[in-house]
Structure 1
Amino acid sequence: MKKVLYVFLGAVLMTIMLPGCSKKAAETATAPGAADKDVNIYMFVSSPEYADAIGELIKAYKDVKPNVTINYETTQNDYPTLLKAKLNSGESPDIFSSTSGKEIGVYLDYSADLANEPLAQSMSDPVKAVMMSGDEVHGLSIKGNYFGIVYNKGIFEEVGISSFPQTFSELETACKAIQAAGYQPFSSGFAEWWVYKHVFQHFMYAAQPDDVEGLVKAFISGDAHMKDYPALYNDFFNFIDLVVKYGDTKPLESDLSTEIAALGTKKAAMVSGQGAWIEADVLKIDPSIQIGFDGYPINEDASLCKVIAGSDQAVRISKDSPVLEDVLDFVNWWYTSDYGKSWFSDVAGVIPPIKGAKTPDFEVIKQGNAHVDKEGAGTLGVAYSTDSFHQAFGEIMQSYVAGVLTKDAACAEIETKWVELEG
């Protein structure tokens, strides 16, 4: 389990206000006696890939509110299980996270409505749409996202491939050429349960492009079956098999750090299940790498090879937090202050989820924008199921990769989990 615990302590004698911080945060920071009252906020969120960036955010807020200590903990693999254990024991974090979309409803009774907070006015409309329950806003986002295949353009050009494959047969041909040139075509990340959900949503889109949400609901009700959708029963498993064949020697030991290292050192030409969030770490390994980004080649229909865009994660505020007003001051400052707005691009290097913020100068984001402008985007299918299902799905696929489950057995278990966990 990847787990990081950050605790930011210390005292600052004078309050240093950052330019542009929200009025609410500014008033609290300068109120008589505010600096004398020590406040502890417990922040427990997934996405350890943003641990350093969130650490910088917390340090910056310490300058605004010296009396506020934010105890920050992050983990990935067991996050849904650990969060539920904390909530069931009455130890709700002041700030926690979940998948956006359907999972907004799962934790509705635990999370505060942010609709009347300044941050809700700053949030971009597409992001806000997947954070809402009726007219209420029950989440904010660390980032917008693009999902697709991140690859090394230099390797592709070296082996004579001028453009990224748009069909499955073209992808298979590319893998053979890359392997013949002495490179590993893929690094899989298959030790991570969440990698599978990122990949699978591309095939869910291909299975029913006009209504992914309706397809998910049909699986949840037990009315849909994998065998009835070739994009799921054939194409998805063909892709997983291809990555295993042309990927890491031990795919179930390949995690996020493995993929980043493999791409950055030119060991592998492509990585699966990733997006814009890995580019900064790859560039730290090789600042001159030529990053490429494209959709997943599904089958022989090139029009289905699309990137997916959207905000898949929500940061939630506990409505029962004993320091609720202090927590709201922090998240409002995050979304409305000059530093907070610049943090998304300049520190985290992500697609900002707020209006009017600049985007970082990353190839995945620039190429993602170009893909969407030209061809449109695939549907963010992960938003229609909860992470309880996604984790179970990933574990089933790990058993398939290990050879423990056949394709038919894996499909049967996936269908059962959809009904059991989501119905």
Structure 2
Amino acid sequence: MRRPMLLVLALCTAMTVILSGCGNAAQGNGDVKTIHIFQFKVELLEPMKEMKAEYERTHPGIKLDIQSVGGGADYASALKARFASGDQPDIFTNEGYEDRETWFEYMEDLSDQPWVKDLDDFAREPMTVDGKIYGQPMNLEGFGMIYNKDLFKKAGISKLPRTLNELEETAKRLKEAGITPFANGFAEFWILGNHLGNIPFAQQDDPAEFIAGLNDGSMQIPGNPVFEKWLDLLDLMVEYGNPYPLTTDYNAQVTMFANGKAAMMHQGNWTQPQIDGINPDLNLGILPAPIDNDPAHGDKIAVGVAANWVVNKNSPVKEEAKEFLNWLATSESGKKFITEKFQFVPAFKTMEANPEVTGDLGMVVSEHAKSGRIWTWNFPRFPKGYNHDNSSSMQAYIAGVITRKELLQQLQDSWDNLKFR
């Protein structure tokens, strides 16, 4: 999956950025050992420079070579090219689940590391195999209906919507007040295919069991009542959304919302920096994205692990690599980088999100994670390419080219075609 936070930096058309060194031909040079790190969060370029300097200062004989590929570049392809050339990094990032299986043969078992006991329980799952942990979560991210509290107040809305009917009533009142209810960026595959596409999977009785059923043929998308209800939400968003949603991209969506031209958008806390860059005075919150009128479903947002650090088990400096990750997760300096410099919502019980840097949205995610009021992220479990296919089908449905029945059948056919590739 292409991480949404990277798209914020796409305006800068960031490509490959090398913080130190080049190549992986020599891991050690006399008494100096180099840890080669390959990761995709180009928005962390500056704080990672600071982290590199701090770590090297406090760990004589260790150098960090941090290479970042993102923005307009494809991290997954770049990582494959590195391994194909024999220039393997010592630490790299992985999204878990399907991506974990792709790279599993290279992953070091990290179960004995000191930080493992401190992980939030649900943050373990994406990188757990047979009870063993193979990755350190970078951070938590969450998404739902981000809303502008001041526009809600302007429209006289005091009760926050927790059901589909209440969300429709909220949309009507916003429209009557001359405010566009939803900013929809449906030109982006991941907004539809990953995040909106996550909803009907997350709200199954047992998402993992449902996905396993899709893989073995015992479950079907057509006729599934959760998918039917999910389309009621999508229809509502289109009906009360901005014109031309299929040509509205991520940046246009966030800009529209940040400028106060829409009251809600289905997005995540990674949008906070871009929103702040346009209008730092907005009062923001995150609502659930309800698909029915069961109030019990109306208090959760989707929270998951954005990515994980993994150690290459073939690395000649894997012990030094593990020590670096241990420093990052347990030392006061490392924790400061996670919670302040990186502006992360941490995935560790021993850390607290910093409201001064995460903003309103990050604190909502942190609160939901700590209270367990979350829907799971299931798109990392999708077969490779499914998020693109289901996005295209959803776009066709939004455009009126196909019916509900045809959409649900296309989602099933795509899964069947891709599940064992």
Which TM-score bucket, shorter chain as reference? Answer: 0.7 to 0.9
- 1:117 and 2:113 aligned: yes
Aligned partners of 2:86 and 2:246: how far apart in 1?
35
- The 5-angstrom pairing of residues 16-415 of structure 1 reads 34-35=31-32, 39=34, 41-45=36-40, 48=41, 51-65=42-56, 67-75=63-71, 79-80=75-76, 83=79, 87=83, 92-196=88-192, 197-206=194-203, 208-209=204-205, 211-232=206-227, 234-272=228-266, 274-305=267-298, 306-321=300-315, 324-325=318-319, 327-361=321-355, 362-368=359-365, 376-386=373-383, 388-415=385-412
Q: Which stretches of structure 1, 4 residues or longer, exceed 6 Å deviation after superposition?
A: 372-375
389 and 321 in structure 1: CA distance in 2 versus 1, 3 angstrom threshold:
farther
Aligned partners of 2:73 and 2:167: how far apart in 1?
30
Does 390-399 or 195-204 show the bigger shift?
390-399
Aligned partners of 2:96 and 2:325: how far apart in 1?
17
Q: Percent identity among equivalent residues?
A: 25
> What is the TM-score of this pair, normalised by structure 1?
0.80
Aligned partners of 1:77 and 1:160: how far apart in 2?
44
328 and 393 in structure 1: CA distance in 2 versus 1, 3 angstrom threshold:
farther
Q: Look up the SS of the partner of 2:374 in the other structure.
A: coil
Asked if 2 retains the 8 angstrom alpha-carbon contact of 1:297 and 1:304, the reply is: yes
Does 167-176 or 377-386 show the bigger shift?
377-386
After superposition, give the CA deviation of every residue in 1:298-319 in whole Å (9 maximum; x if it has no partner).
1222322222333253333333
Query: Which residue does the alignment assign to 2:18?
Result: 7
Q: CA deviation at 1:137?
A: 1.7
After superposition, give the CA deviation of every residue in 1:65-91 in whole Å (9 maximum; x if it has no partner).
274331211248955566556556656
Query: Which residue does the alignment assign to 2:25?
Result: none
Q: Which amino acid aligns with 1:217?
A: A
Does 141-150 or 116-125 show the bigger shift?
116-125
Q: CA deviation at 1:6?
A: 2.4
143 and 323 in structure 1: CA distance in 2 versus 1, 3 angstrom threshold:
same
Asked if 1 retains the 8 angstrom alpha-carbon contact of 2:232 and 2:291, the reply is: no
After superposition, give the CA deviation of every residue in 1:218-242 in whole Å (9 maximum; x if it has no partner).
122223222322221x322232233
Aligned partners of 2:169 and 2:81: how far apart in 1?
47
**CA RMSD of superposed structures (Å):** 3.2
328 and 401 in structure 1: CA distance in 2 versus 1, 3 angstrom threshold:
farther
Asked if 1 retains the 8 angstrom alpha-carbon contact of 2:222 and 2:412, the reply is: no
Q: What are structure 1's unaligned runs of at least 5 residues?
A: 11-30
Aligned partners of 2:50 and 2:372: how far apart in 1?
41
Does 160-169 or 197-206 show the bigger shift?
197-206
Q: Which amino acid aligns with 1:414?
A: L
Aligned partners of 2:95 and 2:384: how far apart in 1?
6
Q: Look up the SS of the partner of 1:151 in the other structure.
A: strand
106 and 32 in structure 1: CA distance in 2 versus 1, 3 angstrom threshold:
closer
69 and 93 in structure 1: CA distance in 2 versus 1, 3 angstrom threshold:
closer
Query: Which residue does the alignment assign to 1:416?
Result: 413
Query: Which residue does the alignment assign to 2:60?
Result: none
- Alignment coverage as a number of residue pairs: 393
Asked if 2 retains the 8 angstrom alpha-carbon contact of 1:104 and 1:132, the reply is: no
Q: Which amino acid aligns with 1:220?
A: N
Q: Look up the SS of the partner of 1:226 in the other structure.
A: coil
146 and 325 in structure 1: CA distance in 2 versus 1, 3 angstrom threshold:
same
